[in-house]
Structure 1
Amino acid sequence: MRTIAVAAAVVGALALAGCGGGGSGSDGPLTVYSGREEELVAPLFEKFTDATGIDVEVRYGDSAELAATIAEEGSNSPADVFFAQDPGSLGAVDAQLEALPSETLDRVSARFRDAEGRWVGTSGRTRVLVYNTGQLSQDELPASVLQLTEPAWKNRVGIAPTNASFQAFVTAMRLSLGDEKTEAWLEGMKANDAKTYEKNTPIVEAVASGEIDVGLVNHYYLSLVKEEQPDAPIANHLFEAGDPGSLVSVAGAGVLSSSDQTEDAERFVEFLLSEEAQQFYVDEAEENEYPLVAGIDPPAGLVPLEEIHGPDVELTAFGAELSSTVELLRKTGWLS
């Protein structure tokens, strides 16, 4: 991921981008920029078209890079909806998103949506420490992510510093503990020779193979690896309440102010919060994510979201903090 260039492009382009008005008059297909992978969400687009008769054209890509594209395109963006992997990417272009209808926003807890109503969470995930059950028992695992800088964990931890979910976690640490403590933790992980990977799945695979003992990932990567390796000796560990390592984050969606199909775009976001779409994450999706609409139980085996207490931070703030997080990762040597 070209993270640093992307963050800079978003900041620069937003200063120049216009936010032209929109309506609902186009007869063409709805255009969605999706930072969610095609393998996961293509069935959702098909369900939406089947339910509404509205055709969808999808541009898939990395969420941060799509945010940069939206910022550069400004009021000329062909996108009607931005369906992003993380709140930081949505927040990076929130000036180009219109407020969603209150009846749509109210389907999701205020904890999982933009304070100004410009985007709403569509599914949730929590940060965890995946560990090798053949090498470690529960009582040997750290209570806090901060303990991973201790000598006992040298050469044993995997992270993905270029990945959006890791950067969201670092942002949460900055917001909850401050830049000084976060910088010290990043430097401590560097001194402890934490191993780097491009994405979360390779981290879980490395834990399963014994290459490393633990890794910082999103919870659902365990189930993805278990699909391919049912007997893999791996499990997830939640850090203590309030710890930045237990961040609960979301994927989400917003409607572009420049869209000429506002009504259809809003119908798409509304559909993502329908019982059918939310149940999809429980019954069909490969990624074992949390539905966010009340009344729909999470996949079997997951700790209910109301029992997970991450750091006291607002996801709304993540977009504005993205470039500072990237700069801190670069300063501490995790990004070039």
Structure 2
Amino acid sequence: MRRPLARALTAIAAAVLLTPALAACGSDEPADLVIYSGRNENLVKPLIEKLEKHLGANVEVRYGDSAELSAQLMEEGDKTEAGLFLSQDAGALGALSKEKRLAPLPGATLDKVDPAYRGSNGDWTGVSGRVRVLGYHPDQVPTPPNSVHELVKPEWKGKIGFVPTNASFQAFVTGMRVLEGDDAARTWLKGLKANEPKAYENNLKVLEAVDKGEVSLGLLNHYYWFEQVAEKGADKIKAKIHYLPKGDPGGLVNVAGVGILKGADDKQAAYAQKAVDYLLSAEAQTYFAQETKEYPLAADVKTAEGVPPLETLQPPKIDLGRLDSLKETLAMLQDVGLV
């Protein structure tokens, strides 16, 4: 779940006010590497512990919202204590890249990841991927729509669940703005608003609502469904998910990624580079595939059982670094009354 709009806008405009939560692995010794993490602590803490062991170093992690942390890092500039930024989405990394706050990554590191899933300036790389999908109740929706543009039709009024405050939904809207223009995105959002979608606090709640038949369709990320299947069993989950074809903006593939901060001293920079390479290693990529059901982006690691390979999907083609205009997306969502 993401913070309300007002807080997000305030943090972007005045990032210096943000004090991210701090969690240190290992001893109380001074940190060898400080990581600002936009990924949830519950999700990545086991992986951070593996990273610390791999590095043989003391790692300190400060958790917060990716957009807010990105804004804070721009405010801190070369005075930042952070050596590495682990972001939940590409947009926050793209914002730092645009402001030249990230150090170039070696070609050998970049070559581990398809160019579609790393920064075009060569200063950040994705480490795991997620796909936007439609969750649907098969009894209510025998044939799910093949485009989010169909969701503004009258027959879906009151039948759609979504999380307007969620970073992934906002990244999808930003992607639509990039792909189709602000006017088209605003028109779509107004149409969605007119269809009276039901807002939930997080993606899991959307999936649960679809599963119970409270709504017929839900906008969410693919891995929530696979996590529920792994936890409860496929026979216990009524809801299904549909991957949108033909480059539809609703089928956006976004990434969690990392970048090394400019201003880090030589020791931190060296540990940060080793951390990036570790996150692209078979061990870390297997963690993303098997534990979080995300898409591994390196090391030839396969997806979890049942998750379709990334190369079989038809996502829209987009420079993920261009998902950096979150503030404009938030303003648009507010203007049309969805947040």
Give TM-score scaled by structure 1 length. 0.90
User: RMSD over aligned Cα, in angstroms?
Assistant: 1.9
Which residue identity does 2:60 align to in structure 1? Answer: E
Corresponding residue of 2:129: 124
Higher mean C-alpha displacement, 103-112 vs 290-299: 290-299
Q: Where in structure 2 are the equivalents of 1:100-249 lying within 5 Å?
A: 100-137=105-142, 140-230=143-233, 231-249=236-254
Distance 2:111 2:5 in 1: 33
Distance 2:335 2:92 in 1: 21
Corresponding residue of 1:277: 284
With over 3 angstroms needed to count, the CA separation of the structure-2 counterparts of 1:71 and 1:7, relative to structure 1, is farther
Distance 1:202 1:216 in 2: 11
Distance 2:336 2:102 in 1: 33
Deviation at 1:312, TM superposition (A): 2.4
1:292-311: CA deviation from partner (whole Å, max 9, x where unpaired): 01522111111211121222
Q: Tell me if structure 1 keeps the 8 A contact 2:33–2:60.
A: yes
Distance 2:59 2:247 in 1: 40
Q: Tell me if structure 1 keeps the 8 A contact 2:244–2:314.
A: no
Distance 1:75 1:11 in 2: 19
Higher mean C-alpha displacement, 45-54 vs 252-261: 45-54
Point out where structure 1 has 5 or more consecutive residues left out of the alignment: 15-25
Q: Tell me if structure 2 keeps the 8 A contact 1:8–1:323.
A: no
Q: Tell me if structure 2 keeps the 8 A contact 1:160–1:198.
A: yes
Distance 1:116 1:9 in 2: 26
With over 3 angstroms needed to count, the CA separation of the structure-2 counterparts of 1:11 and 1:318, relative to structure 1, is farther
Deviation at 1:268, TM superposition (A): 0.5
- Which of 5, 8, 13 does residue 6 from structure 1 map onto? 8
1:166-203: CA deviation from partner (whole Å, max 9, x where unpaired): 01111111111111111111000110001112221111
Q: Tell me if structure 2 keeps the 8 A contact 1:107–1:293.
A: yes
Distance 2:278 2:259 in 1: 12
Distance 1:276 1:311 in 2: 29
Point out where structure 2 has 5 or more consecutive residues left out of the alignment: 17-28
Give the secondary structure class of the aligned counterpart of 1:93: helix
Corresponding residue of 1:76: 79
Distance 2:108 2:12 in 1: 30
Q: Tell me if structure 2 keeps the 8 A contact 1:4–1:326.
A: no
Deviation at 1:223, TM superposition (A): 2.2
- Which of 290, 308, 312 does residue 313 from structure 2 map onto? 308
Which residue identity does 2:53 align to in structure 1? Answer: D
Corresponding residue of 1:331: 335
Which residue identity does 2:314 align to in structure 1? Answer: H
- Which of 58, 63, 77 does residue 60 from structure 1 map onto? 63
Deviation at 1:228, TM superposition (A): 4.8
With over 3 angstroms needed to count, the CA separation of the structure-2 counterparts of 1:27 and 1:104, relative to structure 1, is farther
Which residue identity does 1:322 align to in structure 2? Answer: L
Corresponding residue of 2:95: 92
Deviation at 1:252, TM superposition (A): 0.2
With over 3 angstroms needed to count, the CA separation of the structure-2 counterparts of 1:308 and 1:4, relative to structure 1, is farther
Q: Tell me if structure 2 keeps the 8 A contact 1:10–1:71.
A: no
Corresponding residue of 1:20: none
Q: Tell me if structure 1 keeps the 8 A contact 2:280–2:298.
A: yes
Q: Percent identity?
A: 44
Corresponding residue of 1:268: 275
With over 3 angstroms needed to count, the CA separation of the structure-2 counterparts of 1:101 and 1:3, relative to structure 1, is farther
Q: Tell me if structure 1 keeps the 8 A contact 2:31–2:60.
A: no
Which residue identity does 1:143 align to in structure 2? Answer: N
1:50 and 2:57 correspond: no
With over 3 angstroms needed to count, the CA separation of the structure-2 counterparts of 1:102 and 1:4, relative to structure 1, is farther
Corresponding residue of 1:288: 293
Distance 2:242 2:192 in 1: 19
Q: Tell me if structure 1 keeps the 8 A contact 2:136–2:241.
A: yes
Deviation at 1:8, TM superposition (A): 5.8
Give TM-score scaled by structure 2 length. 0.89
Which residue identity does 1:73 align to in structure 2? Answer: E
